[in-house]
Structure 1
Amino acid sequence: MNNAARGHSSATLYEASKLPCACDPGLKPAWRGAKVAGPAFTVRGVGGDNLALHHAVLKAPAGSVLVVDMQGAEHGHWGEILAAAAQHRGIAGLVIDGGVRDSDEMAQMDFPVFSRSITVVGTAKDYAGDFSSPVRVGGLTVRSGDLVVGDSDGVVVLPRDAADTVLDKADERVADEQRFLAEISTGKTTLEIYSL
């Protein structure tokens, strides 16, 4: 997984993979223009409680993406302070099946977050979290080390053992698309290009 997603979009990776790897469209960027790519560090918490996230910031390796199962709970599990702490430790971003807050501040920090909701509703701090199990986020099972890519089109998760192959296929797909765009600029139709 050199260079994370090699600059590929979530849509390109999804199409190249031929896998059911797209999170459901309910997971959205918390701010316009957010992009993230990196290996997953999985976190299972309890909806309405964000203590697991405080621990995750200390446990996750630099370059990883926190992928957090909060059961879709509409609470502000994450905000500016946790984002600043995560950014300081080199964490690449957050994908959370639950709510966050402070979206404007995170945009200013350029810390990418993808969440189920944005809300000011507060949280408890009782459950320290599970960091050793697969999690269910956006309708997918995610394991630590899987490749996570998020952008304005959505979030995809590629299994660790398939990521390099999919990235190679995505490189080929981008080359094909560049050729198609060149052909369109010379007057060729999409019907001709795709032999439809």
Structure 2
Amino acid sequence: MSNIGFRILPIKRKVDKELVEEFRNVVTPHISDNLNRIHAIGSKLRPYHKEGKLVGTAITVKTRPGDNLLVHKAIDIAEPGDVIVVDAGGDTTNAIVGEIMLRIARRNGIAGFIIDGAIRDTKAFMEGDFPVYAVGVTHRGPYKDGPGEINVPISVDGMCVNPGDLLIGDEDGIAVVPVESARDLLVKVRQQEQKELEIFRSIDNNTIDRSWIDETLKQRGCEFNDNTHKV
């Protein structure tokens, strides 16, 4: 019988490593635009590292607020390139990770932390390039009693994250790419990159077409009070 709430499961499927690398130079706005702008972890989580981009596949952890026993276990079983994603309920009373866990994770080749909760020892994070996103900071340490679950669907600031999903984090936040969508998404992202390059060139050449603005206003029934505008 499954012990729901206190169990460790395997990852059944994850994004291929070669495909993960293809996303390393992709920015999160391009990903978001091509996922209808809803597959993103909310802005409540902020980066606490000095530099470095987060790209990797999710090993998920659901834990009771303030407890990191299952997070420790996740660090030990994660594969190089995995991202530890923790649903700690958004609570910031106790820190979920600190410098000791940072050092172990970095040694193990883990790609980063996403903590829907608090961290501590922030100097160690803010001076380095190990990506960590969290809700807040507190000096109060965690408990290590459980319960918790590893590799189950979790919610991080309103976004569902499944084990094996692709996570990309940069200065604009964190995008979540479902396993089954990653390859098709990359094609769309590359197309958008080319489209934006063309827009940038038209700006530089002063040939950009801005007629769409008035056309949209007209379609939406906007009333112009400025006589210089004709609709």
Tell me the equivalent position of 2:45: 27
Is 2:116 the counterpart of 1:91? no
Is 2:62 the counterpart of 1:44? yes
> Structure 1 residues 180 and 195, CA, compared in 2 at 3 Å: closer, same or farther?
farther
Tell me the equivalent position of 2:154: 135
Q: Tell me the distance in 1 between the aligned counterparts of 2:38 and 2:188.
A: 16
Normalised TM-score (structure 1): 0.92
> Structure 1 residues 116 and 64, CA, compared in 2 at 3 Å: closer, same or farther?
same
Which segments of structure 1 move beyond 6 Å, counting only runs of 4 or more? none
Larger radius of gyration: 2
- How much does 1:118 deviate? 1.6
Structure 1 residue runs without a partner (length 5+)? none
Q: Tell me the distance in 2 between the aligned counterparts of 1:29 and 1:99.
A: 12
Contact 1:4 1:39 in 2 (8 A): no
Q: Tell me the distance in 2 between the aligned counterparts of 1:23 and 1:119.
A: 21
Is 2:183 the counterpart of 1:164? yes
The 5 A counterparts of 1:150-189 are 150-189=169-208
Give, as a single letter, the amino acid of the residue that structure 2 aligns with 1:159.
Answer: P
> Structure 1 residues 176 and 193, CA, compared in 2 at 3 Å: closer, same or farther?
farther
Per-residue CA deviations over 1:93-117 (Å, capped at 9, x if unaligned) read 0111101112221233311001111
Look up the SS of the partner of 2:34 in the other structure. helix
Contact 2:62 2:150 in 1 (8 A): yes
Aligned to 2:165, which of 130, 139, 146?
146
Normalised TM-score (structure 2): 0.79
Higher relative contact order (CA 8 A, sep 6+): 1
- How much does 1:78 deviate? 0.7
> Structure 1 residues 98 and 34, CA, compared in 2 at 3 Å: closer, same or farther?
farther
User: Which deviates further from its counterpart, 59-68 or 31-40?
Assistant: 31-40
RMSD over aligned CA atoms reads: 1.9
Q: Tell me the distance in 1 between the aligned counterparts of 2:178 and 2:155.
A: 14
Q: How many residues align?
A: 196
Q: Tell me the distance in 1 between the aligned counterparts of 2:176 and 2:168.
A: 7
Q: Tell me the distance in 2 between the aligned counterparts of 1:149 and 1:179.
A: 25
Per-residue CA deviations over 1:104-156 (Å, capped at 9, x if unaligned) read 21233311001111221221111163113111112111111111111111111
Structure 2 residue runs without a partner (length 5+)? 1-15, 216-231
Contact 2:51 2:130 in 1 (8 A): no
- How much does 1:72 deviate? 0.6
Is 2:74 the counterpart of 1:56? yes
Look up the SS of the partner of 2:140 in the other structure. coil
Contact 2:50 2:125 in 1 (8 A): no
Q: Tell me the distance in 1 between the aligned counterparts of 2:214 and 2:168.
A: 31
